[in-house]
Amino acid sequence: MNKFFSLLGLFFFSLIYSQKLDNIQSGEVLNYRIHYGVLNAGTATLSATKTSYKGQPHYYVKGYGRTTGAVRAFFKVEDHYESYINERSGLPSFYVRNVQEGGYTQHLETLFNHSNNTLQLTDKEKNTTKTLKTVRGVQDMLSAFYHLRSLEPSDLKVGSVRKLNIWIDDELFPFQLKVVGTENVKTKFGTINCLKIIPQVISGRVFRDKEGVTLWVSNDRNLVPISIKAELAVGSLRASIDSYRNVKYPLRFVK
């Protein structure tokens, strides 16, 4: 189950090309409740704040996931993610993954150089740094999520397929997402119309098959993730929106 928190950012996707973050409002916070089967397993939070990084306007975004309740009693998860995303290009400049999952820990920092398609990866635990080649328009797990939300409605028509590359830990993963339809999704706030998106993920390691994850995002200019379901090798996980604030456009829930 710990892999869910490690890969939470994989459920939020985007284009591989740069895009301004026009639909994100500084101070936005999204909170999610996570269930493993019938168990209340944990919480996750995503927040975005405008800032400056190396003299350029950026969004500073944070992702935080943790186990709660009975699950936390036998398996403690504390996962912290940070990303500085260039406001004009929508590409990440600096990314941090600092996690504790049971007895496993990892603290990595990634400095992106998009001008020559390289990155500098620092392992804070091992005190090592190396430079690696990457590809044009590479995203990290957080920046990919905010890219998705900057797309135009015409980019996410039912039947459309988008390809992207995401840097995860110390490896580049090619992904694609497919918009398969629209659905009305029930939440604690009421029902909201959503785009149903299936990202293709690697099977055999964590998920049952390469299309074992389904993402529902609000069918509006916000494109806020409302619900996420992951079919794992053992059991399933679901994340549902639990609270939100400072979203740029009204979320139109129907009671």
Helices (H), 80-171: 141-148
Tell me: pLDDT of 15 over 50: no
Q: How far is CA 226 from CA 43, 128, 245, in A?
A: 14, 38, 14
What's the whole-number mean pLDDT along residues 102-128? 96
**pLDDT, averaged across the chain:** 86
Report which of 181, 11, 144, 5 is spatially closest to residue 76, judged by C-alpha positions: 5
- Band (pLDDT 50/70/90 cuts) for residue 200 is confident
Give pLDDT, residue 107. Answer: 97
What does the pLDDT read at residue 232?
73
Which of the listed CATH numbers 2.40.360, 3.90.320, 2.30.110, 1.10.10 matches domain 2-245? Answer: 2.40.360
Q: Which amino acid is at 177?
A: L
The Cα 148–Cα 8 span in angstroms is 15
Provide the CA 13 distance to its chain's centre, in angstroms. 7
Q: Which residues pair with 42 in a beta bridge?
A: 34, 67
Place of tokens 């890969």: 7
pLDDT 10s digits, 90-112: 999 999 999 998 889 999 999 99
39-77: burial string, b at 16+ Cβ within 10 Å, e else:
bebbbbebbbbeeeeeeeebbbbbbbbbbeeebeeeeeb
β-strands 171-187, 190-200 pairing:
antiparallel
pLDDT value of position 172: 86
DSSP 112: E
The answer on pLDDT for 231 being more than 50 is yes
Q: How far apart are CA 15 and CA 185, in angstroms?
A: 25
- Is pLDDT of 228 > 60? yes
Note the pLDDT of residue 210. 52
- What are the phi and psi torsion angles at 45 (to 5°)? -135, 140
* Domain residue spans of the chain: 2-245
Specify whether the CB–CB gap between 199 and 11 falls below 8 A: yes
| pTM of the model as a whole | 0.87
Residue 1 has pLDDT above 70, yes or no: no
